[in-house]
Homo-oligomer: A and B are copies of this chain.
Amino acid sequence: MKARVYVTLKKTVLDPQGQTILRALEGLGYRGLQQVRQGKVFDIQLNGLSKLEAQQQLERIARDVLTNPVIEEFRCELED
């Protein structure tokens, strides 16, 4: 079973890395850009679990290990 966890900075948290990319892109001549924010994505392969177990384990992993709850938020997607 394949799963994907997206970890992104909360909207209220400043993203200096994204701002640097935005300024670099503007410097390269790209127009119409307003904001760039960078996050992380984790592709996880799970085996031998039911869909419900996988979903629950994935949420636990995302919440307890992959995300810093002070500044980040996460979203999980489970494929079949």
Could you list which residues of chain A lie within 8 angstroms of chain B, going by C-beta atoms?
A: 6, 8, 18, 21, 24-25, 28, 30-49, 53-54, 57, 60-61, 65-66
Contact = CB atoms under 8 A, between A and B. Distances in A.
Contacts of A6: 41
B34 A47 contact: yes
Nearest to A6: B41
Nearest to A64: B28
Contacts of A41: 6, 8, 38-41
A23 to B, nearest CB: 12
B8 A61 contact: no
A45 B35 CA distance: 5
Nearest to A65: B25
